Amino acid sequence: MGIKTQNIAYDKNGAELNGHLATPDNPKGPGVLVFHEWWGLNDYIRGRAAQLAELGYTALAADMYGGGRVAANAEEANSLMSGALGDIAGTQARFTAAYDLLKSQSGVDESKIAAIGYCFGGALVLHASRIGTPLSGVVSFHGSLGSFHKPAPGTVKARILVCHGADDALVPREDIDAFKKEMDEANADYEFKAYPGALHGFTNPAATAKGKEFGLPLAYNEAVDKQSWQDMRDFFDQVF
């Protein structure tokens, strides 16, 4: 399937945001939002948007830091992510701006919007589901599970798929247990997949090198990358 990609500027509360839009040649159907790791909207995330377009989805990779900022190192990435999570209301507004932009694209079925996120982006899509954003589904890949909002029973609208590395040292067991308890109490429709042997960052081919460079427990896992992507595809087949 042929696709088209383009950078697309939008704004929220005066902040210039630089997203990346990938569309199939004849877009007609669901749209998928893509939210980046703590590194920012880099070529890896743009590539994921393109892969989604190849599957027939209109995909928008959102800029959550503003100005298309990409971290040069782990210290800067942590600072950018911490700033975004420290202003969850502002970050939520940027999420909504991306959501509205995707819905406005020609050929996108407004009733069929999903969101996927990696690491920091995983935390964002799970937060969106917790606050009742009207998404068909969300998928978190090696995302943070900590909560900024406890949903009341029946308020989680989206179906949820969590793709988690069973050996992820950056997500405490307590967070996993708390997430499952929170989802159960909210009567949410969710599935939690833990892949044996997978560390944090298992979908990103650059993760192993970055882990060594910055002394972090990160590693790419090709088999789990492929399996989790297929799990996402199967999930989308169900929710759409």
**Per-residue pLDDT tens digits for 118-152:** 999 999 999 999 999 999 999 999 999 998 899 99
Q: Name, in order, each residue with C-beta under 8 angstroms of 91's C-beta and a sequence gap of 6 or more.
A: 64, 84, 85, 124
Q: Name, in order, each residue with C-beta under 8 angstroms of 218's C-beta and a sequence gap of 6 or more.
A: 199, 200, 201, 204, 207, 208, 210, 211
Residue 77 belongs to domain with CATH number: 3.40.50.1820
Distance CA 89, CA 84 (A): 9
Q: Structural domain of residue 117, as residue ranges?
A: 3-239
Mean pLDDT of 81-102: 94
The count of other CB atoms within 10 Å of the CB of residue 60 is: 29
pLDDT for residue 1: 65
Band of pLDDT at residue 167, cut at 50, 70 and 90? very high
Q: How many domains does the chain have?
A: 1
Contact 194, 164 (CB under 8 A): yes
Q: Is the dihedral of CA 46, 76, 218, 164 positive or negative?
A: negative
pLDDT for residue 47: 97
Nearest to 27 by CA among 66, 59, 70, 65: 59
Mean pLDDT of 103-112: 94
Contact 33, 60 (CB under 8 A): yes
pLDDT for residue 27: 81
